[in-house]
Amino acid sequence: MDGAGGALDGTDGLSDVRIRAVLDNTADAVLTFDEGGAIGSYNPAAEIIFGWTPPEVVGKSIGFIIPELAPVPGQVTAERFMGRRREVAGLHKNGHNFPLELSVSEISLGGERLFMGIAHDITERKAAEEEARNQHEWLTTLINALPEIVCFKDGEGRWLIANSFYLERFGLSGVDYRGKTAGELSQMTSCYDALLLESFETDRRAWESGRPTSFESRVTGADGVESVFDITKLPLFNPDGSRKGLVVVGRDVTESRHSAARIQHLAHYDSLTDLPNRLLFQERLRQALAQARRSGKTLAVIFLDLDKFKDINDTLGHYMGDLLLKAVARRLLRCVRESDTVARLGGDEFAVLLTDLAEPADAAAVAAALNHCVAQPFSLDGHEIVTSTSIGITLFPEDALDDDELLKNADLALYRSKAEGRNNFHFYVAEMNEEVQARKAIECDLRHALGTDQLTLYYQPLVEAGHGRITGCEALLRWYHPERGPVPPSQFIPIAERSELIVPLGRWVLQRACRQGAEWMRLGLPPLRMAVNLSPAQFRHQDLVGLVREVLQESGLPPALLQLEITEGIAMHNVEQTIAVLEELRAMGVSISIDDFGTGYSSLNYLRRFPVDKLKIDRSFITDLGLHPDNEAIVKAIVNLGHGIGTMVNVEGVETAEQLAYLRSYGVDELQGFWFSRPIPPADFARLVSGPLPWDLPAREELGVAV
């Protein structure tokens, strides 16, 4: 037998034996048939492949096992299959068709024209090809379903695969991108040509580094809207070190970057007025001091707060108080230069930083302008409000050389202004001790008040946002002085915190609150969580955990019903120690809440490590809900953040039905505020819990809110 199409002539016996040995041991089916299609020979492999024994098929038509070779009258069917391999269907003895790869050759044997077919069973190969097609289809479907950039390039930077998101986002839909470089593709899109060309540089960096390379890319679409993509390029190499390919993946991080920017803004700016907060003011003061030392110029720190602001809150409500604070902030900005800083330090207290002053009289002129500006009537939501400011001024380098001393001196000067009739300003002078003495008097009276009936606790309900049930209360300290009358907490708590008095005062509050909670249980009230605030001084107390354990044992209040509330400032002070203390308290069964969340500057990186059960959003964030998109965005961001790290979210200061509706729609877990109840004495609180509630909240399901 020579090549395909050759003849098999009569040979000696040895040749026949060799040929037979080859045919019997080949893995392919080898069979012969004549021009009429009758099968003449049939090797063992054919028997295995087709399932028929030689006696069962020899003499029968070749179409019996390979239907496509069945004789056609007037034609030699086999001739159509000669000269190349073809894929045909074989018919197995069991009746099933299976794929064959067939080649046909003409041979001559004893002067007779015969055909020899060599058939290879390709069932496994076809299955593998089908699996490969399925996998390719699955992979293609998967990467096209991803809302992210996915692209594969070869070692020369030519595009091999790109998903639909990439093509649509970069204006390449419908473009035949395969085999093209970024430079060639840049000529096919007018909006993203520069961006595609820039990919050459990032490709080069990935190849040179030999490891995954990540970077941010800012993309401005045809609509002018900028998006931010976090892109990673992963280089692949052949065993010999040559470039094999490049994998490009990227995700749109625009929204997360915006959220991060909002959180960052929240850390440095007051949410109500959008002025710099205390933290940012102190940073700018330190920078200004460094500049003033180099230049030899004077700078001034001005503290001011609104006179009788509490009266406005009490008579017109906190909503009007917030409107006034925002209006005051706008007026203050009009009185200073762009290079100066106006900040809100908290409550109704503002600060102004004046730099590059020629003489102290310049600070006095600004203070007078501030007084005059604020003293003009405010027309707010149908009300005309008249207020004034008390101002304290301190100078560098005349009064102090560092930021802490300047801030302290400005505070002392402010107290002098308030003590001397308000609506004026005073410079700091070294003899300014009256304010200090006044604080000492309050401290002395407060020390005497401990252990007497001057101090008491009021309780404000904590309301479950879903159905309006009271789940607990927050204990709030009240002081009624026999001569001064009611002393606002804002007046005596800061003084207590500046002295060691806060430790015994905090112990008294914790003991009284836990005893009251246990007493309510003995009276048959349902289990109510008791929320108690911890001051920074209390938290720094070396045996805080021991104190809490002792009070719980003495009062009989179950640990699970005690909730300790700390501020962000406490949380971020000595972080590792804070986490250790919180973990000990949690291990006792006490729950932990971060109060006034968003008004401080907690690190999100640390926050996820804190063993915290609840975030309490400060009331300032719910101002103008439904009217102020920034406030809505911040509240939603904090709710999502809290739920994302597995905590409940409380909002305090709920005063209107509109605020309530918005907050419930955002998925807030717990609410408190005047809309439900002011802080009330313990007996009144017990009656509130025992009787029918004065509010009726529809279930969230009825509002269409996801639960």
Q: Are 612 and 592 in contact, with CB atoms under 8 Å apart?
A: yes
Q: Is residue 704 part of a domain?
A: no
* Domain-ending residue, one of 397, 414, 432: 432
Report the number of distinct structural domains present in the chain: 4
CATH number for position 634 = 3.20.20.450
Q: Answer yes or no: is pLDDT of 289 > 90.
A: yes
pLDDT in tens, 209-258: 889 988 888 877 666 778 888 889 999 999 998 999 899 998 888 888 88
User: Does residue 330 sit in the same domain as residue 455?
Assistant: no
User: Does residue 391 sit in the same domain as residue 445?
Assistant: no
Query: Is 126 strand, coil or helix?
Result: helix
Q: Cα torsion for 365, 366, 367, 370, to the nearest 10°?
A: 130
Q: Is residue 4 part of a domain?
A: no
Tokens 């899109």 label which residue?
Answer: 189
Q: What average pLDDT does the segment 291-317 reach?
A: 86
Q: Give ∠ CA 224-230-232 in degrees, rounded to 5.
A: 130
Q: Answer yes or no: is pLDDT of 298 > 50.
A: yes
CATH number for position 396 = 3.30.70.270
648-651 and 670-671 strand pairing: parallel
Domain that holds residue 312: 263-432
pLDDT in tens, 443-471: 888 888 887 789 999 999 999 998 899 99
From the list 458, 599, 467, the residue with the least C-alpha distance to 533 is: 458
What pLDDT was estimated at residue 543? 81
Q: Which residues of 549-574 are buried (b: 16+ CB within 10 A; e: fewer)?
A: bebbeebebebebbbbbbbbbbbbee
* Domain-ending residue, one of 71, 98, 121: 121
User: Does residue 377 sit in the same domain as residue 452?
Assistant: no
pTM over 0.75? The answer is no
Backbone angles phi, psi at 423, to 5 degrees: 55, 40
Report the C-alpha gap between 632 and 214 in whole angstroms. 33
Beta carbons within 8 Å of 126's beta carbon, 6+ residues apart: 99
* Domain-ending residue, one of 121, 149, 169: 121
Report the C-alpha gap between 68 and 78 in whole angstroms. 9
What pLDDT was estimated at residue 574? 65
Q: Is residue 143 part of a domain?
A: yes
* DSSP output for 318-338: HHHHHHHHHHHHHHHHHTS-T
What pLDDT was estimated at residue 8? 42
State percent of the chain over pLDDT 90.
38
What pLDDT was estimated at residue 322? 92
What pLDDT was estimated at residue 4? 35
From the list 196, 163, 209, 158, the residue with the least C-alpha distance to 180 is: 158
State percent of the chain over pLDDT 70.
91
Single-letter residue type at 187: Q
Q: Is residue 322 part of a domain?
A: yes
Q: Answer yes or no: is pLDDT of 13 > 60.
A: no
User: Does residue 216 sit in the same domain as residue 182?
Assistant: yes
Query: What value does the mean pLDDT of the chain take?
Result: 85
User: Does residue 270 sit in the same domain as residue 318?
Assistant: yes
Q: What average pLDDT does the segment 31-44 reach?
A: 90
Q: Is residue 370 part of a domain?
A: yes
pLDDT in tens, 88-111: 999 999 999 999 999 998 888 777
Q: What average pLDDT does the segment 426-430 reach?
A: 85
pLDDT band at residue 11 under the 50/70/90 scheme:
very low
Q: Is residue 2 part of a domain?
A: no
Backbone angles phi, psi at 579, to 5 degrees: -60, -40
pLDDT band at residue 65 under the 50/70/90 scheme:
very high
Terminal CA-CA length for the chain: 82
Report the C-alpha gap between 662 and 700 in whole angstroms. 12
